[in-house]
Chains A and B, each alone.
Chain A
C-alpha cells in the first residue's frame, strides 16, 4: 500500500509536467488545426534556458533560492515564448493556407532545427544540475522500513502547475485575448470580419503554449536535475498522447490526460518493466486514437463535405 501511495505521488508529479506541455499542443491544435511537432523541443529549449540562467545567476553571487527561482522562471518563460513566436512566424504562418500536410512537415523540420541547434550550441552531453530545492516530508512510516516520501520539489511542481492552470483558465475564459482565441477556434474568417486580429491571436497562442512548455522544462530540470538536447522528442510524443487522451482542443482534458499518462507510465515502471514504459505510452496513443478518437473530454469532429 505504501509503495502504491509513493507511486501515486510520483505519477501525479510527472503527470503535471506532461499536462503543462500538453496544453500547448491542445491549444495550437484547437486554433490552427495542426500538430505543432516542434512543441516537445520548445519544452527542451525551456529546460536549457532555465539551466543556463540558473548557472549564471548562481555564479553572479545570488544566494536567495526563492529569488533565483523566480528570476529563472521569468527568464525562461520570456525567452522560450519568443522562440514560440519566432517559430510560428517563420515556419507556420506562411503555410497557413497551404495544403494540409505542409505545416506538419515544416514543423518536423523545425523540430530537427531546435534539437540540433541545442546540440550544436550546448554540446551533446547531459547537463547535470545540483538539487536546488531539497528536503521533504515523510508521510507514512511503513512496517518494513519503506516510507512514503513527499519532497518539497514535488510540492513545488504540483503547486506551480495548479497556479498556472488557474491563471491560464482565467486568461482563456475572462479576458479579451481568451475571447479572441475562442472566436478564432470556431471560425477564423468570421472572427476576422468581426475585428479580431487573427494573426496576432494565433501568435499569442503559440507564445502562451511556449511559456507553459518553458515552465514544464524548468520543472523537469528541478525534478530530475538534468537536461539533454534529445529530451524533447519522447516527452513531446507523450504530451501529445496526453492531449489526445484528454480530447484534443480541450484544456482541462489536456491536464487530465497528462495526469493519466504520468500515472500510467509510473505504475507501469513500478509494477511491470521500466524498459517498456515508452512502449506502453505509445501503445496508449494508438489504442486511444482507435477506440476513442475524441478523447475523454473532446467534442466529436464533424466531417464536412
Chain B
C-alpha cells in the first residue's frame, strides 16, 4: 500500500488555490487535446459508402469543463482526506459495530438467499437477476481458487465456462443425456482442460501466465466459432434440454412435477428450481473451497501465492499444487457453464468473450482475492451495478473499465478482506529490509 511512498512527503506538497487552479488548467488542456478529434469530430459511413463527419464542439466543451471541475474537486478531496497510507483511528463503537456486522453478515446473507424465491415469488425479473448473480458468485468462487488462493492470474477462465456449457449442450442434444449425468461430465471435462492448460504454463509466472491463459481462452472461443460441424459456429447450439428435478420434468404435462404434487402448474416453478439449483452449486463450491483450504493442498496454494521460490525450497511439489488449483477452478467453471447452458436453453460463442473473463476476474479482485464473502458481495455489486446501467447499454463497459482502474488505484487489495494467510506466526519476526522492499505478492 505504499502507493505514494516514492514521492516526496505530503507535507511538502503545495496546497494553495493557485496550485489547484494550475493543476486543473493543465488537466483541462490535456483533455482538450485528447478529446479534440475523438469527441469534437464524429465520423460515420455515409450513404454512398464514403465517410462523412460532423462536429460536436458543444460536447467537447462540456467534457473539458467537466475535467476542469472534476480535477479541482478531486484535488480538494485529496487535501481534505490527507495521505492515503495514514493509519486512521476508528472510533470504538464503529469498530465493534463493524466486527458485529462482519460476524453476522454471512449467515444473514445466506438466510436471505434462501428466502429470495419466497419473498419475490411473483417478481420474475428479480428471480432471474438473482440467478444471474448466483452464477457469477459461483464463477467468482471458482476463479478465487486459482487467483485468490494459488495466486495464478488467469485471464482465460471463461474458456472453462465455455467447455462446461458446450459439453452439456452437445452431450444433451446429441446423445440425449440428462442434466444430472452431464453435470459431473461437464465438470470433469473442464477440469481436464484445466490440467491441459496447466501443464504448459507451469513454468510461467505473473504477467506471462496471464497472457497465455488469455490466448488459451481466445483459442477455445475461435475453435468454437470455426468448428461449425460440431458446435454450430457463430449460430450456437439451441434447443438445449431444461433440467429435470431428478428425472421429473418441470412441465405442465401429466408426468410433470406440478401434476405429481397435485398443484397448479406455473412457469415460475422452474425458475425457483433453477434458483435453488445454482444456490446449492454455489454453496457446494464455497464449502469445497473452505474445506480444501484446511487441507495440505490448500495450505500449499496459499504458500505458492506468497512465494513460489520459498515453496520449492520447503519441498512443496509446485507442479501438482498448480495443476490441482487449475483443475479445481476449471471444474467449478465447468459446472457453472453446464448450469448456464441449461438455464438459457441456447448458447453461442458470444457469451464466452474475454469481457466475461475480465468481469469474473474483476469480481474476484474487488472481493479482495481470497475472501469468500468478499467475492459474493462483489458479484452482487457488479451484476447489480450492470443492471442499474442497463439503460445506458453502451456506456456500461466504459464505466466498468473506469471502475476497475479507480479500484486498483484506491484499494488494490480489494474492497473487503485482506489476503491474510490462514496460518501465520503469532510473533513478528525481524526481516531484512530488502526482502520487504521486493514487495512480491
Partner-B contacts on A (CB < 8 A): 34-35, 45, 48-49, 51-53, 55-56, 59, 75, 78-79, 82-83, 86, 90-91, 94-106, 108-130, 233, 237, 240-241, 244, 275-276, 278-279, 282-283, 285-286, 289-290, 293, 303, 305
Shortest distance from the beta carbon of B317 to any chain A beta carbon, whole Å = 18
Partner-A contacts on B (CB < 8 A): 1-6, 30, 33-34, 36-39, 41-45, 49-51, 53, 153, 155, 200-201, 203-204, 206-208, 210-212, 214-216, 218-219, 222-223, 226, 309-310, 354-355, 358, 361-362, 365, 394-395, 397-398, 400-405, 407-409, 412-413, 439-441
Q: Is the CB of B439 within 8 A of A115?
A: no
- Residue among B5, B51, B204, B362 with max Cβ neighbours from chain A (10 Å): B51
- Which residue of chain A is the closest to B399 with respect to CB atoms? A116
Q: List 21 A-B contacts (CB under 8 A).
A: A35-B207, A48-B38, A49-B38, A56-B37, A79-B33, A79-B36, A86-B30, A94-B4, A96-B6, A98-B2, A98-B412, A100-B206, A106-B408, A109-B400, A112-B358, A120-B398, A127-B51, A237-B218, A244-B208, A282-B219, A289-B204
Shortest distance from the beta carbon of A80 to any chain B beta carbon, whole Å = 10
A288 to B359, CA, bound (A): 28
- Residue among A34, A86, A96, A121 with max Cβ neighbours from chain B (10 Å): A121
A263 to B234, CA, bound (A): 28
A114 to B211, CA, bound (A): 19
- Which residue of chain B is the closest to A284 with respect to CB atoms? B215
Chain A residues near B408: list those with CB within 8 A: 91, 95, 98, 102-103, 105-106, 109
Chain A residues near B45: list those with CB within 8 A: 125-128
Residues A237 and B222 in contact in the complex (CB < 8 Å), given A104-B153, A106-B404, A108-B404: no
Chain A residues near B153: list those with CB within 8 A: 101, 104
Contact of A121 among B3, B38, B219, B355 (CB under 8 A): B38
Q: Is the CB of A282 within 8 A of B218?
A: yes
Residues A112 and B2 in contact in the complex (CB < 8 Å), given A35-B211, A240-B211: no
A102 to B207, CA, bound (A): 11
Please give 15 more A-B residue pairs, beta carbons under 8 A apart, in addition to A97-B6, A283-B219, A286-B216: A45-B38, A48-B37, A55-B53, A91-B408, A99-B412, A99-B440, A106-B409, A108-B361, A109-B402, A112-B358, A125-B45, A126-B45, A129-B51, A279-B219, A282-B219
- Which residue of chain B is the closest to A274 with respect to CB atoms? B226
Chain B residues near A91: list those with CB within 8 A: 405, 408-409
A78 to B37, CA, bound (A): 12
Residues A117 and B394 in contact in the complex (CB < 8 Å), given A97-B439, A279-B223: no
Q: Is the CB of B3 within 8 A of A98?
A: yes
Q: Is the CB of B211 within 8 A of A111?
A: no
Chain A residues near B39: list those with CB within 8 A: 121
Q: Is the CB of B226 within 8 A of A275?
A: yes
A96 to B5, CA, bound (A): 10
Residues A94 and B3 in contact in the complex (CB < 8 Å), given A52-B53, A120-B394, A123-B44: yes
How many contacts between A and B, using CB within 8 angstroms?
A: 204
Shortest distance from the beta carbon of A299 to any chain B beta carbon, whole Å = 15
Q: Is the CB of A289 within 8 A of B212?
A: yes
A35 to B403, CA, bound (A): 20
Q: Is the CB of B43 within 8 A of A52?
A: yes
Chain A residues near B226: list those with CB within 8 A: 275-276, 279
Chain B residues near A79: list those with CB within 8 A: 33-34, 36-37
A275 to B226, CA, bound (A): 7
A241 to B309, CA, bound (A): 27
- Which residue of chain A is the closest to B228 with respect to CB atoms? A275
Chain A residues near B223: list those with CB within 8 A: 279
Chain A residues near B4: list those with CB within 8 A: 94
Contact of B440 among A83, A100, A110, A122 (CB under 8 A): A100
Q: Is the CB of B30 within 8 A of A115?
A: no
Chain B residues near A104: list those with CB within 8 A: 153, 206-207, 210
- Residue among A53, A94, A109 with max Cβ neighbours from chain B (10 Å): A109
Chain A residues near B30: list those with CB within 8 A: 82, 86
Q: Is the CB of A278 within 8 A of B206?
A: no
Q: Is the CB of A83 within 8 A of B34?
A: yes
Chain A residues near B203: list those with CB within 8 A: 290, 293
Shortest distance from the beta carbon of B344 to any chain A beta carbon, whole Å = 24
A285 to B33, CA, bound (A): 36
Chain A residues near B358: list those with CB within 8 A: 108, 112
Residues A121 and B401 in contact in the complex (CB < 8 Å), given A86-B34, A105-B365, A237-B215: no
Q: Is the CB of B222 within 8 A of A109?
A: no
- Which residue of chain B is the closest to A78 with respect to CB atoms? B33
Chain B residues near A113: list those with CB within 8 A: 398, 401-402, 405
Chain B residues near A278: list those with CB within 8 A: 218, 222
- Which residue of chain A is the closest to B218 with respect to CB atoms? A282
Contact of B53 among A59, A102, A117 (CB under 8 A): A59
A20 to B386, CA, bound (A): 37
- Which residue of chain B is the closest to A192 with respect to CB atoms? B6
Q: Is the CB of B36 within 8 A of A116?
A: no
- Which residue of chain B is the closest to A80 with respect to CB atoms? B34
A126 to B400, CA, bound (A): 24
Chain A residues near B309: list those with CB within 8 A: 303, 305
Chain B residues near A127: list those with CB within 8 A: 43-45, 51
Residues A97 and B3 in contact in the complex (CB < 8 Å), given A35-B211, A122-B42, A237-B218: yes
A256 to B284, CA, bound (A): 50
Shortest distance from the beta carbon of B354 to any chain A beta carbon, whole Å = 7
A125 to B413, CA, bound (A): 38
Chain A residues near B362: list those with CB within 8 A: 105, 109
Chain B residues near A289: list those with CB within 8 A: 200-201, 204, 208, 211-212
